[in-house]
Amino acid sequence: MDKNVTNIIAPAAIQVDPNYLKVGDKYTKTMFIFTYPRYLTTGWFSGIIDMPELLDISIFIHPVETTLALKKLRRKAAQVESQVMERQQKGQVRDPMLETAYQDIESLRDSLQQTRENLFNVGVYLTIYADTVEALHKIEGKITSLLESRLVYVKPALFQQIEGFESTLPLGQDKLGVYNPLNSGPLSSIFPFTSADLTSNSGIMYGINRHNNTLIIFDRFSLENANMVIFAKSGSGKSYATKLEIIRLLMLGTDVLVIDPENEYENLASAVGGSYFRISLASEHHINPFDLPVVPPDEDPSDVLRSHIVNLAGLLKIMLGQITSEEDALLDRALGETYASHDIVAGKDFTNATPPLLEDLQKILQNMEGGRGLAERLYKFTSGSYAGFTNQPTNIDIKNRLIVFSIRDLEDELRPIAMYIVLNFIWSLIRATLKKRVLVIDEAWVIMKHDDGATFLFGLVKRCRKYFMGVTTITQDVEDFLKSPYGRPIITNSSLQLLLKQAPASMDVITKTFNLTEGEKDLLLQASVGEGLFFAGLNHVAIQIIPSYLEDKIVTTKPEQILEQKSTLE
């Protein structure tokens, strides 16, 4: 039995070369660290551990008896001191290296004598793997450059590749025997392995950790807030990653609401039995922005009504464009009178009242002194070309776990208005019932272009935690998003961030905003589709988005795949 197991595990053959081995189909090479700088900072080894390439690391630590170490150090101190005195007697210029060495030896002797430190012989060996010799040399160069930048130097185990390979196997055998004396402090800088790990016992899988090939499993509701921002250039996989998250959230019982600007979520809604509403001028689905919000049990109805009127005023400012302070005051008074005309006033029960429409506000403005100009500017939304969009009673059913609002068929001029109306509608829905929810706002920069829209979105991101909701904000126009005074606050109020492939033009802004290193900057510029950086609180790792076969069929947006699926169905 043991022989059969050995035959299964062991490679068919090993080809030995002075500089590398070929073990089965893989080429391997073992290197060892042979010198260190005077100081080792904590985490200096993490760059090697976090490399996405396949490698094995062995660290052998052999304690040195303190009395023996003190004898050797005393002898060494005497040698160095005699060299210093000899140079002084000959009148030679002082040698700082000798003086520093003497001080270090004396400091170490004191530490050992007082048992504050121990001395160890340490061997650090690295075995790298590749499919070709060229790839092996490339990885070797990468490791060498990374370590030499920290004044740590490595050498290949020439003519000892078999011994080196065996030393990095999980056998606990040190067959190279290349040691460096390290005391407790420098030795501790190698540990713990600081490889970023985002694998938890709860949550959903976001992708593969490219640093160490572990799974990124995370519960966004475990952080101080469940908000997330996704920045990426067009075609880099941001909507794809979002749809994968939606599927996995639904499986764990989380409700999801989506604002879809490009009909990208229609197949997903159909596949999981979600509700899909098209918001357009000719659509049969309508949302009345004057709808009364449901009053939560723990809130004052008068405060809820006032808050709703403030939000409604923000929408009207987007619709009307620039207004003066006098018009702003007039609009506020007109909104109060519009609701009062339907017996909806603060202090009274308006639970079963019929909400007004936009045309009711227009009539009030026409009969107010100074309000005729505002009423005329509202004409196109009440009786003109946009009347079917903003002047109809609500007729959609929101009793579903996945609800998608599509605004693709709206003109660009109306998109910010539609996003505001839908967000306000969703906000009222969220406040009415406490449930675990995620709201996805794709192409959020559209609403961020307007100050009132940006203010409302920021308020939503800031307050949603209280209602057990997380907001996912997606955008490809990073600069437009950050130009808004509320762009950066939205990012700082989002505990999760996903950065996929970026355009060179926006890279400087991204680097400054997220405080990226040069390596992370290069990673985002060179990333393939579905690759990038995933930030969760203080942890961040390189991520690769991985779908299952069925998930890919549901969420894909590649035209060739969609056409292939349609032809298969036909």
Question: Which CATH number fits the domain that encloses residue 278?
Answer: 3.40.50.300
- Decide which of 366, 393, 420 is a domain's last residue: 393
203 domain-assigned: no
Whether pLDDT at 1 is above 60: no
Q: Are residues 309 and 332 in contact, defined by beta-carbon separation less than 8 angstroms?
A: yes
pLDDT in tens, 292-346: 877 777 778 888 888 888 888 888 888 888 888 888 889 989 998 998 888 888 8
pLDDT in tens, 215-264: 888 899 988 899 999 998 888 888 899 999 999 999 999 999 999 988 88
pLDDT at 522: 81
166 domain-assigned: yes
Please state, rounded to an integer, the average pLDDT across all residues of the chain: 85
Cα separation of the two ends of the chain: 54
The verdict on 389 and 404 lying in the same domain is no
The verdict on 384 and 407 lying in the same domain is no
In total, the chain counts a number of residues equal to 570
The verdict on 24 and 148 lying in the same domain is yes
pLDDT in tens, 111-152: 877 777 888 899 999 999 999 999 999 999 999 998 998 899
90 domain-assigned: no
96 domain-assigned: no
- Decide which of 369, 393, 417 is a domain's last residue: 393
SS3 104: helix
Parallel/antiparallel/unpaired status of strands 275-278 and 402-406: parallel
The verdict on 436 and 539 lying in the same domain is yes
Between CA 115 and CA 299 the distance in angstroms is 64
The verdict on 148 and 273 lying in the same domain is no
pLDDT at 561: 60
Number of C-beta neighbours around residue 130 at 10 A: 20
Written in H, E and C, the secondary structure of 142-164 is HHHHHHHCCCCEEEECCCCHHHH
Neighbour-count burial for 548-558, b at 16+ CB within 10 Å, e otherwise: eeebeebbbbe
The verdict on 313 and 387 lying in the same domain is yes
pLDDT in tens, 263-289: 889 889 999 999 999 888 888 888 888
pLDDT at 138: 93
Q: Are residues 194 and 49 in contact, defined by beta-carbon separation less than 8 angstroms?
A: yes
pLDDT at 11: 79
* Phi-psi map region of 120: left, alpha, beta (phi>0 left; psi -120 to 50 alpha): beta
Between CA 530 and CA 207 the distance in angstroms is 9
Range of the domain at 550: 225-287+396-570
SS3 503: coil
Q: Give the residue, 542 or 470, on which the prediction is more confident.
A: 470
The verdict on 546 and 514 lying in the same domain is yes
184 domain-assigned: yes
- Decide which of 335, 358, 393 is a domain's last residue: 393
Structure tokens at 497: 């961030």
Contacts of 378 (CB under 8 A, 6+ apart): 319, 320, 358, 361, 362, 365
Domain tally, the chain: 3
Contacts of 84 (CB under 8 A, 6+ apart): 94, 95, 98, 99, 102
Question: Residue 374 carries which side chain, given as an amino acid letter?
Answer: L
The verdict on 422 and 503 lying in the same domain is yes
DSSP single-letter state for residue 463: H
The verdict on 410 and 386 lying in the same domain is no
Rg (CA), the chain: 33
Question: Which CATH number fits the domain that encloses residue 339?
Answer: 1.10.8.730
Angle of CA points 527, 530, 534, to nearest 5°: 85
3 domain-assigned: no
Query: Residue ranges of the alpha helices (H) in 223-275?
Result: 238-251, 266-272
Tell me, rounded to whole angstroms, the distance of Cα 283 from its chain centroid. Answer: 36
The verdict on 518 and 434 lying in the same domain is yes
The count of C-alpha atoms lying within 13 angstroms of the C-alpha of 364, restricted to the half-sphere facing its C-beta, is 19
DSSP single-letter state for residue 296: P
pLDDT at 569: 47
Structure tokens at 412: 């660009």
175 domain-assigned: yes
Among 70-74, 232-236, 269-273, 551-555, which stretch is predicted with the lowest mean pLDDT?
Answer: 70-74
The verdict on 447 and 560 lying in the same domain is yes
83 domain-assigned: no
The verdict on 490 and 559 lying in the same domain is yes
SS3 249: helix
